[in-house]
Amino acid sequence: MRTIDKYLFQAMDNYPYWLEGTIESLDYALSYNDKNPMTLCLYGRIQTEQLHDYEEAKRYFQEALAIDIQAVAVYPFYIDTLLLNEDYEEADKLIAFALTIKGINKVEIMLKKVLLLEKQVAFKKAFKDLKEIKLIVTNNEHNYQIEEIEKRLKAKKELVNSKKNKKTTGKKNKGKE
């Protein structure tokens, strides 16, 4: 095993439970190779998940993908960061590109697309994509998550529809007075 791998694995093992040890191991890993996409990805995750510094996280993810555009592990975390930062157009483009990469977990990326559509209140498209996801799922790993997303989307859709109905009913009643 190469030294960088040892420190990267230590960092991955420590994260998120021991941040000091994670950073120390990442620093060692970067000192051996400052062009390792997985090391940069973990730095990006720390920026997003622990420090909520989305712009800095984006910089790490962009650097990781500039080094290796095929680094499939980077895409889900980068997309999450874009969604949290409300960079929806950028997230949409990254999702579309990620789905073209051989070996990427397409179900995971498509679930991120559904989340993007949900945030944009595009429920009809989100339900359509969920159906597509169901067709490509090959194990039960994501079934619970899909079911929960469907429930949440249905509840939100009903909420939006009930608000629309109240507005139109309110307008009709005003006209009768």
Cα 113 from Cα 76, distance rounded (Å): 11
pLDDT of amino acid 149: 96
Domain boundary among 104, 127, 147: 104
Check residue 140 and report its DSSP letter: G
Among the three residues 87, 104, 121, which one is the final residue of a domain in this structure? 104
| 121 and 63 within one domain | no
Q: CA 115 to CA 153: how far, in whole Å?
A: 10
Handedness of CA 16, 92, 140, 41 (dihedral sign): negative
Give pLDDT, residue 167. Answer: 76
- pLDDT of 170 reads 64
In whole angstroms, give the CA distance from residue 50 to residue 65: 21
Instruction: Indicate the residue among 104, 134, 156 that finishes a domain.
Output: 104
Show the DSSP H helices in 37-142 as ranges.
37-45, 54-67, 74-84, 88-98, 106-119, 123-136
Q: What is the spatial distance between Cα 161 and Cα 100, in angstroms, rounded to a whole number? A: 35
Can you list the residues of the chain whose pLDDT is less than 50? none
Question: In this structure, are 91 and 118 located in the same domain?
Answer: no
pLDDT score recorded for residue 79? 98
Give yes or no: residues 86 and 163 share one domain: no
Do 21 and 96 lie in one domain? The reply is yes
Q: Which domain holds residue 133?
A: 107-177
Phi and psi based region of residue 112 (left: phi greater than 0; alpha: psi -120 to 50; beta: remaining): alpha
DSSP code, position 137: -
Q: What's the number of domains the chain is made of?
A: 2
DSSP 3-state of 152? helix
Look up residue 48 and give its DSSP letter: I
Indicate whether 73 and 136 sit together in one domain. no
